[in-house]
Every structure is written in C-alpha cells, then in structure tokens.
A and B are shown apart, each in its own frame.
Chain A
Amino acid sequence: MAEAHPVGFQWVMEAKARGARVIHIDPRFTRTSAVADAYLPVRAGSDIALLGGVINYILTREKDFREYVLAYTNASVIVTEEFRDTEELDGLFSGYDPDSGSYDARSWRYEGMESTDPPGAEDTAHARETGSGPAHGSGGPRLARPAPSPRTDPTLQHPRCVYQILKRHFSRYTPEVVAEISGLPAERFLQLCEDWTANSGRERTTSVVYAVGWTQHSVGVQMIRTAAIIQLLLGNIGRPGGGIMAMRGHASIQGSTDIPTLFNLLPGYLPMPSAGVHTSLTRYLDSFIGDKRKGFWRNADAYFISLMKEFWGDAATKDNDYCFDYLPRLTGDHGTYRTTMDMIDGKVSGYFLHGQNPAVGSAHAKLQRLAMANLDWLVVRDLTMIESATFWRDSPEIETGEIVPAECRTEVFFFPAAAYTEKAGTFTQTQRMLQWREKAVEPQGDQRSELWFFYHLGRLLKERLADSTDARDRPIQDLTWNYEVHGDEPSAASVLRAVNGYDLTTGTVVSGYMDLKNDGSTSCGCWIYSGVYADGVNQAARRVPRDPDDPTSPALEWGWAWPYNRRILYNRASADPQGRPWSERKKYIWWDPDLGENGQWTGRDVPDFERTKPPSYTPPEGAAGPAALRGDDPFVMQADGKGWLYVPTGLHDGPLPTHYEPQESVLANALYGQQANPTRKVYAREDNPYNPSPGGGGDPEVYPYVVTTSRLTEHHTAGGMSRQLPYLAELQPEMFVEVSPALAAERGLQHLGWATVVTSRTAIEARVLVTDRLTPLRVAGRVIHQIWLPYHWGTVGLITGDSANDLFGVVLDPNVLIQESKVATCDIRPGRRPHGPELVALVDGYRRRAGVIVGTRRAGPLARAGEGTSTHLGSVEASEEDAG
C-alpha cells in the first residue's frame, strides 16, 4: 500500500502512531514492509492456503466472536444432504460438469430451499461466460424461497450446519500445511493468527487492506472471500476499524464499476439482460428480484425503471416495458480478453480506448498489440501518444515481422485528453466516497474532457440518425441528451443531477433511492448514487474536515459516500442483536429507545438500517422486501440479511474457498488431486500458450521460477502518466528485475547487469537488482525462487524498456473474468535478449524443451478440468486497472 498508495498510507501511519499493529504479507519486501511491525513473505498464489489456515486456527480454538457469528452470519444454517465438499471429492464440490468446466450449484443450497429454482444458474455455463458473478448486484444472489427462514442449529453442532462444514473443509489447513504451501514458517504463521484473533472481538477490530493485484488470480474472488470469512468469524464487518478495504488502482476505479465500463453490468450493479433469457421486462426483473425476496434489493424494479426513464425519458412508458428492448443483450462473453481474441480472429473492426494502455498494461500485451493491428479503426484518447497508439510502428513485433507497418491496416485516431486538473467532475474512491473537483485550468489546444467527447459523439450520432426510419436507430433517436452546456463543454454538475435522479412529476431532484418509484414517475442514472444531489446541493463538493480533537470521527460532511452517505456499510452490525454497542470503545451505531415516537437508530454514522425498525422486530408471515428483514438482520442487501460464511449460490467455483495452484506452477497441489481451479477460464489457442504444470504433461522445470509483478511508487500503471514526465522518469529510469542473492548466484546474474526473463509467450530483458528484499522460500521440501518485475515500461516516453505483461498468458477467474497476471512461471538467464527472429527462436526452443503444446487441449489426471473450454470465452473489461 505504501508502494502504490502512498497518500492513502498516511492513515495507516496515523493508526500506527495511535497504537495499531501493522502486519504486511507479500511475496516481496516492499516500502510497506519497511514500516510494518511484521513482514511475512509468502509464495505468490498461496493466499487461500494461508488464510484458510487462519480459519482453521479460529475454528479449532473457538476464537470466533460467537455472539456476532450466531446472530449475524449463516453459521447455524443447515445445508442440504446432497452437498459434497472438496474433502470428499479430492478438490471438487458436488455438481461439477467436466465437459463445460462449470458447476451446477443446486446441491450447495440450504436445506428447505427448492432445488428446482437455481437462481442465476439456469445455465451455469452461460453464467460463467457472461461473468455473471457481479451481476447479482449489490444484493448478492437471490435465494429460492428463503421464507420461512431456513432450518438452523443455534448450537452449531449439527454436522450439516455451515459452521461444521467450514470446520471440516479447513481442517487440513494446519500450520504445517500452510508452511508447506506458502513457505511461511509455522511459528510466524501462528503469531499472525494470535495477533489477528487477539485484536478482534467486542473491544477491538482488525482491518484487512489489499491492493487489487489480489484479484488478479484464477482464484481471485475466493482469495478475498477467505478474508471475508475470517472477518465475519471475528466480528470485523460493519464495525469501526474493521472491514476489507480494496485499494483501487486509479483515482475513480470504484466509480467506473459503480457506473460501469463493464460489459455485463448496468449502473448500480444492475445486471445486463441476456439474449433469449430475459425476453421481457418481467422475466428480467424476476430473475434477480423474485417475489419473496427479503431486503432492499426487493425494490430493484424501481431502480431499473428509473434508469430507463433517465436513458429514454418520455419515450419510456409502461406500455413499452420502459424501452427495455432498447437495451443491448448479452450473447456470451464480450469482455476485454474475448474482444482482443475476436480482433485477432477478424470479428471486431473498431475499438475505443480511454485512459487505458493495453499494449503495455494488459496481460499478454503482445496479444493485445497483435489484436489492435488487425482493426479497421482505433480511437485512443489519452494525455500523450501511448504505446496503444504507436504499436503499429514501434512494437517488438515490428522486429519479428509479426506486424508490418506498411501493411498494418488499423487507422489510429488520437484525441488528446484533458487532465484531471482541466475538467470538473467527481472521483469515487475506495470508500465509495464521491469527491467533487473543480476545473483548475482550461485545457490546452485540442485537449478535451471525456464528457465533452461523449456528449458531442452522442449529439452527432443523434443528428446523423435524426431522419432514419430504421427501427434499430430508435434507441439513439429516443435517447435523452439534454444536459446543460457551457460554451461547448457539457456541465458535469447537470450530469451528476441526472445520476442523482428526478421526481418527474415535480421536476425536483430526489433525495435518495428510497424515493424512486417503479411506475415511471422518477428517473435516476444510478440508484446507489441517488442522494448525491439531495436538496439540490452538490453533496460531493462538501469539504468539512473531521474534528481534529476527534480522530475517529467519520467526517460525514466531507464529500458524499454511497449509499445515503453511509461511511461503513452494514453498520447495524456495530451494535449487538439488542441494539446496544458491543463495547464503549467500539461504539458506532445503536438503538435509542427514547428518540422519536418509538425509538430510533442513531450514532456516529448514517445508520445502514431502517431508522425506526426496533431490534426486536420480527417480520409477519409472507413479508417481502425490507419488511421481511428482522430487527437483527444487519446485512440488509443480502437475500437473508446475513453475512455469508458459506455461499449457497452465486459463485461459479464453489461455496467455500479452496486452495488450488495457479495455472502455472512447478508444484503439485499439496491438498487435492485437483491441481488448479476447475472452473477457471482457459483459452487453448496457438497465440496463448501456457507453461506446463505438474500432472498436465510437459516439463514444468523448464520454467522453474515464480514471477510476479506490481507497481513502483514512482510510476503509474502502464506508464502513460509517468514515463513522459522527467521528474518521475528520473526516479526509476529503467526497467529492472529483482532477484535474491541466492538466485543471482544460481543463475550467474550480476547486480546492474542484464537478465532475460522467458515464458512460453515471449522473452523480455531488464537490468538486475540483487536484493535481500526477495527471499527464497522453502516449500514442499524444495527451495522456490520468486522474481519480481515492475510493469511500467514500454516503447515510448523519456525512458523505455520491455513490458512485463508481455510475459503473461490469458487465464481468468470464473466469477468476474479477471486475468491471472500476478503469478506465472518463468526462467531467468544472464544477458540481454535477442531481437527479431532470434527472439522467436529462443522462445520456441524453451517451448520445445518444456513440451508446450500450443492450441490443443491437454488432459491429465491432475489438470482434468477447464482446459477444453476454448470456444468463445473471455473476460470482463480488465475490470479496472491494467494487469498490474
């Protein structure tokens, strides 16, 4: 965090000054480790084993916060007899279909739930194709007929209750096994467990912070879920000082998932409809709401219809399903990596790039460049001419003859972009807080804001199509496009008001999503942002700092956080079931029986709960929506109001996290016969080879080392914003590779000399830094060396160098389709790399020796799954950052 988020890290340092203990877990010793109280080195990709070990520690010693766990999680819920765990099936859960590489999740359900209605899983293979994990929205997946409440055992003794299932599932994740897989010695692991559990409970809370590299694994979602299970078991969710914080990769990446640049989501995490499935508005809404659903997601029809009213205004009426048929439909995967491969296959003719540099920043960057070289046109909007605008004349593929400038048919249109100081608008940061910024200076020359570009693009399209009688042009003809414009620049404030939403009967802004209606009388561009313009005031522009005498103040009048300016989500959990603070020290939200007519929730934050619903409230028979939530159900968006230790539906790779090796590993899975995530998305194409792993054929030892990447403080992602600036370029002027002294000795690498790093995709060169910050790990009876690379370099700018992301292949997490770009295998050798045909020969030689068979399915007892699924697969828009 100190490396990539130095400004945010000031709060960690402040917490440390006030007595917090900071533990840093990372494959390499970083600037964060330098100031942490403890640094724990681990093997890249072993996170579930490590954190699963913590769960095992908690459960075997009964260190869980029992009262919290019983009241607020699904620990006591009994699961159907049909469920089989990975312990029984050697690394698979029940319901696995090896042909499609996906699960039928029906057997994972709670006892009493109907098995005929697997929500969101009508077609599990399709669900995986379309990255439907996040498509359940902020509400999580719906539960089939959860009312009456599922069967539970409050003693937690029933062998099929979630608590016992969890205990059995993680029972083999002992300190010794953790050491065996992660390389972290048992005594250091136990110290971590002791610190974490001792610092959790009534009086204390622990926070988990991760940078989004954590998501970039074939088991990324489950890694974070493992942390979520620990935090729920220890009572660290919904309470001050607790939680799991994602350090997002850019200034407003949170914003670009809330109002998404993702192919499978609409604003506010509403799912994008699928062709052939969501044939009517009713079918679409039913697919994620359901008639008996508990919680606030029950009102999603109001959120969706208000969105349609914002898109199409008066044209959206009840009679035409509010223009539901104007929305595009998913026919499969339309994400970044799928689209890239479709470009190579000649199925995509045009591409817009805004502030993204896939020629450097995306996994398998060579594949990205080859893809962009096969387009008719490409629009690049960026601050400077980045590699994604110049690949056709200066990429490494020119030397190898894979791209010939004279023949490359892609026409590149470069639009200079305005910098953040040159445009007004909001950033949404990791705490879901919107912060308005004013324009400081006028953009120079032809530089323009994104808002300008899209507003005028839309305006021109509407003008061109104004006289069309073709029905397919109606969605654009009917689009409301009436934002305020000052000069030729649209007003960002007027867009923010539209995002907030209007009461269409009065023309005034609504005060929040509770005001939204499902009858077409309100409009709202993004329901979770509704309230950002409450009372006609730009709430995101507020700048009242916290009281300096009260360092724990949530500073509610600094910016505005969705939803409803709540700073901690699910903060009802900061009080006990009776509504009293768990402790004076951790007092945050509580029930005050003397407030209002019959009592109210009150406290330091905006309560994330119905303000007047007493803790003792029990829903009447047949209640639905928020009314079906009990007074002690804090997780108000969840279908049952509980935190899910066990996920009965909604995940594509299992109800519980399980340790699998990465796609590329020199080690066999120490726990199960199943080597890697059986549902990961693999693309067996000639242009996307993988290094061998044990049991899959080929020789893994040809690529004997682990390679991982991350950022340097001095640079920004793919370098477009830093390699052009002398003051940043001079601070880290050259591409380098970090190796331990032991590996340097083993491979004859000299400090400040050159090294070549080789995978089955390509080879890159870098200067060598020999450093003790990388430690060889003793894993599975052998020494594992890890090398580390920054990924900021490319072919243009003040400083140039090879791109680390050229080394990685494309393999994706099945839930959100993010690429595994934080771990692979490689070889490293002294000296510079060859160029042109000799480079190809070097890489080919390695492939032959390793037995890499490109473009064909490789089956084997330990890699039995997922590898045949090579047709139309892909990824979500690299969801946020680049592969870094």
Chain B
Amino acid sequence: MTDPLSEPVADVAGASGYDAHPPRVGFFTDTTVCIGCKACEVACKEWNLVPDDGFDLLGMSYDNTGMLGANSWRHVAFIEQPARTGAESGQEFRWLMASDVCKHCTRAGCLDVCPTGALFRTEFGTVVVQPDICNGCGYCVSACPYGVIERRDGDGRAWKCTLCYDRLRGGLEPACAKACPTDSIQFGALDELRVRARQRVEALHEQGVAEARLYGESPDDGVGGQGSIFLLLDEPEVYGLPPDPVVPTRDLPRMWRYAALAGVAMLGAIVAAFQEGRRR
C-alpha cells in the first residue's frame, strides 16, 4: 500500500503546488574543512537582523552558542576528542568543528503542524516562517526532530533559518555560505550537492579517512532527505545531531489506524462490559 506521507518526494516544490519553479536548493556542509571561525553565525545575524543570544561562557570548548534556536540560526559545534590509544584506533587528539543549520526537510514536521500557514514551502523547496502570520502557538517547536525552530523570548513567535529567502529571490547565495572562507558551507542545487557530497566521501575514503560519512543525504530517511546535508567524521550524536530523525507526521496514518483500532476495541469492550453486566 502506498503512503503519501512516507513515499520519496521527487519534486518537493512541485508537490506544494508550484508549477514552474527553480531547482530545489540547499546546503552541503563539509565539516572536514571547517575551521570554526563562526563567520557563518555572524553573517547570518548581520543579514537577518537576528538578536544576540546573551553573553554566556558555556565551557563547551569554543562553542558559546550552544544550540540552534530563535536567536541562533547557525551554530558551530566544537568537539574535543581525547586521543584514543586503543588497539583498534590509535587516533590522535581531534578537534571536530561543524556548522549546524535548519535541515529544510523534504517532509518538514514544522510545516506539517503549523495551523496558521505561517510556515510555508518556497519555490526553492525550502521551509520559511512568515513572522507576520505566526501566532506563536509553538506546535512547530515540538514537531521538529532536530530542535531547530524555537519561540523567541519576549516575542513569542517562532524563528529559524530562512535559507536567506530574500537573498535567493535576489539571485544571491545565503549569507553564511557567502561568508564561509573555506567553502565548508556550500550552497547550490540539492541534486548537485548530493553528487558532490558523495564524491567527497569517496575521495576521503580513498585517502584513508574511513570514518567520513554523509548525514541527511538519503531521501529514504525519516524526513524524506534533508535540504541541508552534512559530511561528518563521527556518529551524528557526537555533533549533537539525532542519529535517526523522523518527522512526527510520518506516523500519522499508522497512528490513525491504531486510534481507529483502539476506538473499535474500546467500543467492543464497552459493549462486552454491558453484555456481561446484563447476564448477571
């Protein structure tokens, strides 16, 4: 039986009703060349006028941003890994850096649950909140399997990366990708980025970097493939990414079936209970 909520979506913008539209765009973040300069975080805030997130020393290596949220649409994680001198590894001390961002999912939980239509799918296949429509209900916050979207304190509305929708419409690449000095953040047509990402992993494997892997690249995953894909050097959990993200709405049909089944069962139980009672 085909399930429209879990089948791969070839044309996400088309499926949202755009007849003629540009190719779906996204990010490929190659963490192996990230130098942790945080230019992406600053460029994002400068362009999108995102407020600062407070001046707190977190002690998480050089990460004082902590996580994505209403006031941090890019977040560079710093992971210090002590030398592993075990027999199988012998790996030296590593300092991993990775710039995280909204995944602009093929099946976007935030978009699915938004009751006001504030969240919408753009012609570029990205997912954007319209602040003038958002009523701050917060359903999207719990619907995001990555914890990306968040309500802003003192404002109440939900905010997240727009993939610089205004820049895209002006023919420009997003601010973070533009500012990235080492091309760790690459912007482009998602199909091309996927090819590039696979080639990069193969090249790294050939160079002996066996731990290189892609994250969010497969259209078969729990969100139908991410619009922002990542090349990682360790398990996703190490970077603070969920290992197997699933859009909550994927289970809706099954949940409805279970609910219907439960309803029938309950009904049966009630009937049975009454009949039992009558017999006495």
Bound complex: CA of A9 vs CA of B181, how far in Å?
8
Contact present for B82 and A729 (CB under 8 Å): no
Most buried by A among B41, B57, B97, B183: B57
Q: Which residues of B contact A34 (CB under 8 A)?
A: 35-36, 94-97
Contact present for B95 and A773 (CB under 8 Å): yes
Assuming A29-B95, A732-B64, A734-B57, is B80 touching A773 (CB within 8 A)?
A: yes
Assuming A752-B57, A752-B59, A772-B83, is B33 touching A6 (CB within 8 A)?
A: no
B38 at the A/B interface (Cβ < 8 Å)? Answer: yes
A136 at the A/B interface (Cβ < 8 Å)? Answer: no
Binds A, one of B45-53, B102-110, B187-195, B269-277: B45-53
Bound complex: CA of A728 vs CA of B64, how far in Å?
11
Nearest CB in chain B to that of A1: its residue: B35
Assuming A728-B42, A773-B80, A799-B55, is B93 touching A31 (CB within 8 A)?
A: no
| Tally of chain B residues near chain A (CB < 8 A) | 35
Bound complex: CA of A878 vs CA of B158, how far in Å?
50
CB distance from A695 to the nearest CB of B (A): 36
Assuming A6-B35, A13-B182, A31-B35, is B53 touching A730 (CB within 8 A)?
A: yes
Q: Which residues of A contact B94 (CB under 8 A)?
A: 34
Contact present for B182 and A727 (CB under 8 Å): no
Q: Which residues of B contact A769 (CB under 8 A)?
A: 59, 61
Most buried by A among B38, B46, B61: B38
B86 at the A/B interface (Cβ < 8 Å)? Answer: no
Nearest CB in chain A to that of B39: its residue: A6
Assuming A6-B37, A35-B33, is B52 touching A730 (CB within 8 A)?
A: yes
Contact of A727 among B35, B52, B62 (CB under 8 A): B52
Assuming A34-B35, A713-B37, is B57 touching A10 (CB within 8 A)?
A: no
Q: Which residues of A contact B52 (CB under 8 A)?
A: 726-727, 729-730
Contact present for A736 and B57 (CB under 8 Å): yes
Contact present for A771 and B55 (CB under 8 Å): no
CB distance from A172 to the nearest CB of B (A): 31
Q: Which residues of B contact A2 (CB under 8 A)?
A: 35-37
A contact residues, range: 35 or more
Contact present for B93 and A6 (CB under 8 Å): no
Assuming A726-B52, A729-B55, A752-B59, is B182 touching A10 (CB within 8 A)?
A: yes
Most buried by A among B51, B53, B93: B93
A751 at the A/B interface (Cβ < 8 Å)? Answer: yes
Q: Tell me the residues in window 58-82 of chain B with beta carbons closer than 8 Å to chain A beta carbons.
A: 59, 61-62, 64-65, 80, 82
Contact present for B35 and A772 (CB under 8 Å): no
Produce 1/0 per residue, B20-40, CB < 8 A to A. 000000000000110111110
Q: Which residues of B contact A732 (CB under 8 A)?
A: 62, 64
Nearest CB in chain B to that of A35: its residue: B35
Bound complex: CA of A729 vs CA of B45, how far in Å?
13
Assuming A33-B95, A726-B52, A734-B57, is B181 touching A7 (CB within 8 A)?
A: yes
A767 at the A/B interface (Cβ < 8 Å)? Answer: yes
Bound complex: CA of A717 vs CA of B110, how far in Å?
42
B90 at the A/B interface (Cβ < 8 Å)? Answer: no
Contact present for A798 and B55 (CB under 8 Å): yes
Bound complex: CA of A751 vs CA of B181, how far in Å?
32
B56 at the A/B interface (Cβ < 8 Å)? Answer: yes
Produce 1/0 per residue, A12-47, CB < 8 A to B. 010001000000000001011111000100000000
Produce 1/0 per residue, A716-760, CB < 8 A to B. 000000000011111111101000000000000001100000000
Q: Which residues of A contact B53 (CB under 8 A)?
A: 730
Contact present for B82 and A772 (CB under 8 Å): yes
Bound complex: CA of A31 vs CA of B35, how far in Å?
6
A489 at the A/B interface (Cβ < 8 Å)? Answer: no
Nearest CB in chain A to that of B33: its residue: A13
Produce 1/0 per residue, A448-461, CB < 8 A to B. 00000000000000
Q: Which residues of A contact B54 (CB under 8 A)?
A: 730
Contact of B35 among A13, A17, A728, A751 (CB under 8 A): A13
Q: Which residues of B contact A799 (CB under 8 A)?
A: 55
Assuming A10-B181, A31-B97, is B55 touching A733 (CB within 8 A)?
A: yes
Bound complex: CA of A751 vs CA of B65, how far in Å?
18
Contact present for B64 and A733 (CB under 8 Å): yes
Q: A9-B35, A32-B35, A798-B55 provided; 13 other pairs, C-beta below 8 A?
A: A2-B36, A6-B37, A6-B181, A10-B182, A13-B181, A13-B183, A35-B33, A730-B65, A733-B55, A733-B56, A771-B61, A771-B80, A772-B83
Give the top 3 A-B pairs by smallest Cβ distance, nearest first: A733-B55, A726-B52, A6-B37
Identify 14 residue pairs between A and B in the complex whose beta-carbon atoms are under 8 Å apart, listed by A's number: A6-B181, A13-B182, A34-B36, A34-B95, A713-B37, A726-B52, A727-B45, A731-B64, A733-B56, A734-B57, A771-B61, A771-B80, A772-B82, A773-B80
Interface residues, chain A, with chain B CB atoms under 8 Å away: 2, 6-7, 9-10, 13, 17, 29, 31-35, 39, 712-714, 726-734, 736, 751-752, 767, 769, 771-773, 798-799
Interface residues, chain B, with chain A CB atoms under 8 Å away: 32-33, 35-39, 41-42, 45-46, 51-57, 59, 61-62, 64-65, 80, 82-83, 92-97, 181-183
